[in-house]
Amino acid sequence: MDVKGAFDAAARDYDSLRRQLIPCFDPFYDMAVALLPFAPDRPPRVLDVGAGTGLLAERVARRFPAAELTLLDVSQEMLARARARFAADPRVRFEVGDYSQVPLGGPFDAVVSALSIHHLADTDKRALYARVHDALAPGGVFVNADNVRADDPEVQRRDRRAWIAAIKAAGLDEAQLDAALDRTRVDILAPLDLQLGWLRDLGFVEVDCAYKWRHFVVFSGRRAG
């Protein structure tokens, strides 16, 4: 199954299962928003790549009521849920497309992403980070809330076991568990330190990982200027 097919198929139940599938749901998403260094009354221009159903964008919009949001995703089914979430909200634009290929536009004050970029091959991840840097206005920030791979294979296995135990304890039935594990077949996880190094090499400053629970991390960098 390709990434688009996997998420088209998952769109209907995506939101209802998020808290069960992400044991650290609130601190994970809260940190992604907390890393956006804007005054609440400022109207930042924000691009959400791999926006899905708009879970992260909704939190950004709540924190920054004047924000102008662009939601970009390859899955029309996922964006249909986002359109419903933001019905009649003039601040929000929607674009269907593969963010590893289509122009990102800009300049943006922030580019954000949640649980999406880990589906790209490593060379494509790095290339996207370069394009994100170019799409940011001077001083703009990039925030990625995502899954990563541990450098040590045993740590990676331990983290995966802990995640599976947590989602089982959250009450997933067997069909839901099987579907969640099946979707991980399209994951291409890269180590956190490798990705932080890419950001620094590409010219990002203030590069840091602000949150980590097992393989869930939130990291960021800022375009100088």
Looking at 118, 119, 133, 215, which residue is catalytic?
Answer: 118
184: exposed, middle or buried (Cβ count in 10 Å: 0-12, 13-18, 19+): middle
User: Is 118 tagged catalytic?
Assistant: yes
- Strand pairing of 204-213 and 136-147? unpaired
**Alpha carbon of residue 121 to chain centroid:** 15
Of the candidates 62, 100, 94, 78, the residue with the CA atom closest to the CA atom of residue 18 = 78
Longest dimension (CA), the chain: 50
Q: Which residues pair with 48 in a beta bridge?
A: 71, 112
For residues 82 and 53, is the Cβ–Cβ distance under 8 A? yes
Q: What are the φ/ψ torsions at residue 33 (nearest 5 degrees)? A: -75, -35
Q: How far is it, in rounded angstroms, from Cα 73 to Cα 225?
A: 29
**Residues annotated as catalytic (active site), given as ranges:** 118
